[in-house]
Structure 1
């Protein structure tokens, strides 16, 4: 089994998920607090468009992915804040636009064979140059969480209460939108555009089901995310299943197990 570590793509995969896996569920917890889980799916589909554009124009996909995701994320928050469009409406617009335009650009790029990798992730799509960008993005997201952790909790639970307590909600909102977009962007090549949301949302759902405190929820979410990510790499390598699908499948298994454990606990 250890022969898997002889391959550079596997080493890169383990390195990348070691940074992505702890960050994704933390942002997922904040999104669930804001009742904004759909936000992750929207940005993931925008990421699909960015990868399609990179194939069409033959440019660095991760840089474009980060820039486009951040731009859309800020736009959604601006539209939501100024009441120009309902939150669900703006998210739906960007989601469906992203999917439609992605298909157009992929079709004209002549790289339709890349769709599976884009949608469901791949061990081979993360290059050495991508690793540096991913680690840099993870560092920025990690610093943001550590610096604004308490303010984020207040902001995500109740914006009005956070504003009343002296928190600059407008600034936190933009920083949060930017870092969520960044965290999704650096994860899409690994997890795929359709499944990155699973790594952000399912671990917190499992943790919330079995934990009573926020601290324990965060810790358990990170552990579940790391275990599923590492296991998913092995499953993907030996089965040929796309990496994002492998990780998501393991997360579903953990989710079912958590319900079984809880059911027996109350008997």
Structure 2
């Protein structure tokens, strides 16, 4: 029996290519890992409802979502880390004055504080998901929110970073930024899962490509950056595989000796 390892995969630019398609070699590799008895998990900035179809296709029920703020192990919620609502309310007021819309997100849905805005459409459309945020400016009231999207051009998030110290801001699109609880990360979410599973660091693996993967790649012992990752991401990984377009997951798993 192979000793069990746990492997965490980012979604966009890692499991899915830039057309949001799952390469056949990636799907086959995931099922080979599962067949060998390994625990396969997802670690993403996406909301849980944004990758339900992918979880079903790959038969994965362990995941770190919202960049570590909503963590599920074998179908059961293991850990949550919601945003501070009082600070979010003040940020939303400031954003409205700057014509910067926001989208509130919990584990079930997402709602925009404005009826429509070109920045929301531009960025959400790139995810190629079936759901689009509808209008509810009061969605934050009485709910735990795990991430909020702030829509503004590059550089304009700096004013919010200076004023709102309860949050971290991570850009994922030219006109959109993730707002997370201060210190929240995929690495923290992964820590909750590996501690519960009791799998040692030597058998922990992570694959990613984005800025929100840096802490994960820096923390997980056997980290693999995709060939399509930016250089500032690659420097934090132990290994660098081929791009997602070149069967990067398959080659990376071979590189680290899992396949």
- Mark yes or no: TM-score above 0.5: no
- Greater fraction strand: 2
TM interval, shorter chain, is under 0.3
TM-score scaled to structure 2, two decimals?
A: 0.28
TM-score, normalised to structure 1, is 0.27
More helix by share: 1
* Highest RCO, 1 vs 2 (Cα 8 Å, sep ≥ 6): 1
